[in-house]
A and B are shown apart, each in its own frame.
Chain A
Amino acid sequence: DSGVTQTPKHLITATGQRVTLRCSPRSGDLSVYWYQQSLDQGLQFLIQYYNGEERAKGNILERFSAQQFPDLHSELNLSSLELGDSALYFCASSPQGRTEAFFGQGTRLTVV
């Protein structure tokens, strides 16, 4: 158990809908990252937050957005969902001053 908690574990929704994925980082970790893992693309970095502020952005679609709250939990919002958005979405956190990231168990999103 990495200490990173993600909910829900599974999500099935229809095209065009909007969903919110939630992540609680390890106790004390200020950085939160979101990654997407699909069969054809592998693990792709989406976005990073550090202590409530956006720190880095990767290949995140405009339909996707994220935020980190004062209690350090983070949410990833996915809107106008398409079939191609079906994937595993992972949250990770890292301790201050350290480079390694610890991943949660992921949310499997299926868009039908």
Chain B
Amino acid sequence: EDQVTQSPEALRLQEGESSSLNCSYTVSGLRGLFWYRQDPGKGPEFLFTLYSAGEEKEKERLKATLTKKESFLHITAPKPEDSATYLCAVQAIDNAGNMLTFGGGTRLMVKP
């Protein structure tokens, strides 16, 4: 069974204080690892897809990296508007469809 564990559950940062969010996963064969951002009461917003170990993707202050067992979302010099829940999900090769298995998320709060 595919499993995704995110840590920490919650993270408080001061504006400008860089940090990393962790996503550990177990999957029979990885088709892709996905990062989403979710604001309260809203739908998840797609950020990145990573396909193979060593791959990195960047978008503004966010950088996602992937190893064979985990992924990191690095946040550089965060701003209050980066406050949200960040969700990690995996898609397995042996899925009949393209279903995503999500982790529990990391709730990020950035204080000015």
A interface list, Cβ under 8 A from B: 2, 4, 31, 33, 35, 42-45, 48, 50, 55-56, 58, 88, 90, 92, 94, 99-106, 108
Contacts and interface: CB of A to CB of B under 8 A. Distances in A.
B109 interface: no
A103 B96 contact: no
B99 A105 contact: no
Given A43-B102, A106-B42, A99 B32 contact: yes
B98 interface: yes
Interface string B89-112: 101000111111111110000000
A100 B46 contact: yes
Interface of B: 31-32, 34, 36, 41-46, 49, 87, 89, 91, 95-105
The 4 lowest CB-CB distance pairs between A and B, nearest first, are A56-B97, A103-B43, A55-B97, A43-B102
B43 A42 contact: no
Given A31-B98, A48-B97, A56-B99, A43 B43 contact: no
Contacts of B43: 2, 4, 90, 92, 103-106
A103 B42 CA distance: 9
Contacts of B98: 31, 33, 48, 56, 94, 99, 101
A101 to B, nearest CB: 6
Given A44-B102, A99-B31, A103-B45, 14 more contacts: A33-B99, A42-B104, A43-B100, A45-B99, A56-B96, A56-B98, A92-B43, A99-B91, A100-B46, A101-B46, A101-B98, A102-B46, A105-B42, A106-B41
Contacts of B91: 99
Nearest to A45: B99
A42 B105 contact: yes
Nearest to A103: B43
Nearest to A4: B43
B97 A31 contact: yes
B66 to A, nearest CB: 14
